[in-house]
A and B are shown apart, each in its own frame.
Chain A
Amino acid sequence: MQIYLPIAEVSVNAFLLLGLGGLVGVLSGMFGVGGGFLMTPLLFFIGIPPAVAVATEANQIVASSFSGVLAHVRRRTVDFRMGTVLLIGGLIGAALGVQLFNTLKAIGQVDLLVRLCYVVFLGVIGSLMFVESLNAIRKTRRGAAPKRKKHTWIHALPFKMKFRTSGLYISVIPPVIVGVMVGVLAAIMGVGGGFIMVPAMIYLLGMPTKVVVGTSLFQIIFVTAFTTLLHATTNFTVDMVLAVLLLVGGVIGAQVGTQIGTKLKAEQLRILLAIMVLAVCGKLAFDLLVMPAELYSLGAPGGH
């Protein structure tokens, strides 16, 4: 069934969009990532104009994250305090990121920068997670006792705060910095930033994996809602019909994903996420390295 999208001004198959939404929703619920880093390129691929894809995807992430976070709230696996601290950083970062994005747009080549950002960040994070979780799986197989958390420089910083749900007593500076960095990258790359935040929470802040997913979703809701409003009011690129189709599939998928997530071990979850991140990274790197079939592309004048 073909549906004409009023803002994107293209006609697409409704079931294809429902399916894509569902698929990405499952991943979102499983890993606590918004799924934007997968969905945005997929939307480009089916012919949605990039500006509309990025803006609408932000709206869809709000829905799937909200659906996902409710399940986590009931299981008490959301650290609201940590989420709020991250969110403050995230909003500052998003505002900075939009500024940076516009500056780079004026110079040109913002497309390339976005792609390179994806390849570098997905590549680094994916490989780090892959190696780490592989080691963790090996250790549990051998039955060795898990290492006690070491005290690092992070514990020497001021403004300490108790994060009971995460079982942490650390300074608020590292979470705020993580929030800002994720916010900047999220604005540039047009994604929620979960795939960067989840590893940052695990490896930098030392949060337990079970809490990480819910907290990440909690923060993503607000950052993407902010981005949606920004896009809707400045670029007029949020397509409500597209968003509804994606989110109907997305919210159902997110529920299924959350269920699957609870049945898997933390290490397994991380290694799966790592493989997925690396696959997307590989695809994007491949596109940059291999000669494209069509060397020419069309764009609107005065920007991308």
Chain B
Amino acid sequence: MLLRAITVLLALSAPIAAEEVVAGLSRDRISITTNFDGSDILIFGAVKREAEIPEAPLQVIVTVAGPSEPVVVRKKDRRFGIWINVEGVEVDRAPTYYAVATSAPWNEVLTETEDLRHRVSVSRAIRSVGAPGDVSNPERFTEALIRIREEDDLYQTNIGTVEFNQSTLFNTSIRLPANLTEGNYTTRFFLTRNGRVIASDETVIFVDKVGLERFLFDLSRQQPLIYGLMSLAIAIAAGWGASAFFRYLRG
């Protein structure tokens, strides 16, 4: 009797972990071939639940992050009449690609503290530990990094592009641009209610070069001398070929 009472109490006090996210991708492997021109991935999923749908609306956030790398952001200034790089800030880790898609406006899907904890928004996904003391406004450098990468479609914030039906089924499409780097692209799913994350899931998209791209890339790293000589041989052959061809044309 006592045991049963405790069980019931526990069940009541436990957070509503009754909702879980089950997600899928249209493809989990992107092959970069010679004619690779970017790719669209369809990301979809459903909410698995055992209880009734609570009152407050449920929201979905999907993020896709490419491999992180350190990057230096430099700022130009005028010195002696010409524009030169004067200041530089090293950002310790910045994803080479980062896309975030939501099912509603930002302030409805996630609170500031939750964003900080889960590193969801583009600016939170970048880690910048410290700028040199003589740099004024270090945050301007991170802003510039985001601005430059956004222009190249490498960073995307797609508000409201997740289609969410009956608080159960969701889907969105995320564009991977042509200038993609190889690596594992972590895809995260968040279910939020009242701005708080209540469930999350993670999966990986593998991006790698195949065929000729793979062969040339590996050769250039593993056998650089052979690769270099091969490049020269092609150059000489093409030069000679064109010369012979033109001589033939002119009789």
In the bound complex, residues from chain A placing their C-beta under 8 Å from that of B72 are 298-301
Q: In whole angstroms, how far apart are the Cα atoms of A292 and B78 in the complex? A: 10
Interface residues of A in 264-285 (CB under 8 A from B): none
How distant is the Cα of A297 from the Cα of B214 in the complex, in angstroms? 30
Are A7 and B82 in contact, with the CB atoms below 8 A?
no
Which interface residue of A9, A225, A289 has the most chain B CB atoms within 10 A?
A9
Contacts of B105 in A (CB 8 A): none
Given contacts A62-B232, A243-B231, are A4 and B213 in contact (CB under 8 A)? Answer: yes
By the criterion CB–CB under 8 Å, are A297 and B76 in contact?
A: yes
Q: Judging by beta carbons under 8 Å apart, are A229 and B229 in contact? A: yes
Residue A241 lies at the interface, judged by CB distance under 8 Å to chain B: yes
Task: Tell me the chain A residues, 194-210 only, with Cβ under 8 Å from chain B.
Answer: none
Q: Is B144 an interface residue (CB 8 A)?
A: yes
Q: Given A6-B216, A255-B243, A297-B74, verify A232-B235 contact (CB < 8 Å).
A: no
Distance to closest chain A CB from B96 (angstroms): 10
Q: Across the interface, do B76 and A292 meet the contact criterion of CB distance under 8 Å?
A: yes
Known contacts A295-B76, A301-B72; is-contact A62 B235 (Cβ 8 Å): yes
Query: B161 near A: Cβ within 8 Å?
Result: no
Q: Which residue of B lies closest to A25 (CB)?
A: B242
When the two chains form their complex, are residues B74 and A299 in contact, meaning their CB atoms are under 8 A apart?
Answer: yes
In the assembled complex, the CB of A131 is this many whole angstroms from the nearest CB of chain B, namely 26
Closest-CB distance, B136 to chain A (whole angstroms) = 14
- In the complex, B49 has a CB within 8 A of chain A: no
Chain A interface: which of B21-29, B112-120, B218-226?
B218-226
A152 at the interface (CB under 8 A from B): no
Residues of A within 8 Å of B71, CB to CB, are: 298-301
Pick the contact of A112: B38, B84, B141, B144 (CB < 8 A): B84
State which residues 203-234 of B face A: CB under 8 Å. 209, 212-214, 216-217, 220-221, 224-225, 227-232, 234
Cβ-based interface call for A64 (8 A): yes
| Complex contact B74–A288 (CB within 8 A) | no
CB of B83 within 8 A of CB of A292, answer yes
How many Å from the CB of B213 to the closest CB on chain A? 4
Interface string of A1-13 (1 = CB under 8 A from B): 1111011011100
With A4-B34, A251-B238, A299-B71 known as contacts, the answer to whether A233 contacts B243 (CB < 8 A) is: no
Q: Judge if A67 is at the interface, Cβ distance under 8 Å.
A: yes
Give the contacts of A229-251 with B (CB-CB under 8 A): 229, 231-234, 236, 238, 240-241, 243-244, 247-248, 251
Question: Whole-angstrom distance between the alpha carbons of A150 and B179 in the complex?
Answer: 58
Q: Is the CB of B35 within 8 A of A2?
A: yes
Given A232-B225, A232-B227, the answer on whether A1 and B85 have CB atoms closer than 8 Å is no
Q: Once the chains are docked, how many angstroms separate the CA of A236 from the CA of B225?
A: 10
Interface centre among A2, A65, A287, A297 (most CB of B within 10 A): A297
In chain B between 135 and 183, which residues have their CB closer than 8 angstroms to a CB of chain A? 141, 144-145, 147-149, 178-182
C-alpha gap A4/B176 in the complex (Å): 14
A6 to chain B, nearest CB (A): 4
Q: Is A163 an interface residue (CB 8 A)?
A: no
State whether A109 touches B232 (Cβ < 8 A).
no
Task: State whether B145 touches A298 (Cβ < 8 A).
Answer: yes
Q: CA–CA, A229 to B225, complex, Å?
A: 7
Say yes or no: is B81 at the interface (Cβ < 8 Å to chain A): yes
Are A289 and B240 also in contact (CB < 8 A) when A11-B36, A60-B235, A232-B228 are? no
Q: In the complex, A6 Cα to B214 Cα: how many Å?
A: 8
Instruction: Kindly state the separation between the CA atoms of A232 and B76 in the bound complex, as whole angstroms.
Output: 31
Whole-angstrom distance between the alpha carbons of A161 and B120 in the complex? 73
B33 within 8 A of A: yes
* Cα distance, A120 to B20, chains bound together (Å): 66
Asked if B90 and A7 sit within 8 Å, CB to CB, the answer is no
Q: In the assembly, what is the distance between CA of A238 and CA of B246, in Å?
A: 28
Please measure, in the bound complex, the distance between the C-alpha atom of A111 and the C-alpha atom of B90, giving whole angstroms.
Answer: 18
Q: Does B133 have its Cβ within 8 Å of any Cβ on chain A?
A: no
B199–chain A nearest beta-carbon distance, Å: 36
Contacts of A1 on B, CB cut-off 8 Å? 35
Complex Cα spacing A9 to B38, Å = 12
Bound CA–CA A9/B181 (angstroms)? 6
A299 contacts across to B, CB distance below 8 A = 71-74
A residues within 8 Å of B by Cβ? Answer: 1-4, 6-7, 9-11, 47, 59-60, 62-68, 70-71, 74, 109, 111-112, 225, 228-229, 231-234, 236, 238, 240-241, 243-244, 247-248, 251-252, 254-255, 287-292, 294-301
Please name 9 pairs of A and B residues whose Cβ atoms are closer than 8 Å in the assembled complex, sorted by A.
Answer: A4-B34, A4-B36, A9-B182, A10-B178, A71-B243, A292-B83, A300-B70, A301-B71, A301-B90
Closest 9 pairs (CB-CB, A-B):
A66-B239, A232-B228, A11-B178, A251-B242, A296-B144, A63-B235, A67-B239, A70-B243, A4-B36
**Other than the known A64-B239, A291-B83, A298-B72, what 16 A-B pairs have Cβ atoms closer than 8 Å?**
A4-B34, A4-B35, A6-B220, A62-B239, A63-B236, A67-B238, A67-B242, A68-B239, A71-B243, A232-B225, A234-B224, A243-B234, A247-B234, A288-B82, A294-B147, A295-B144
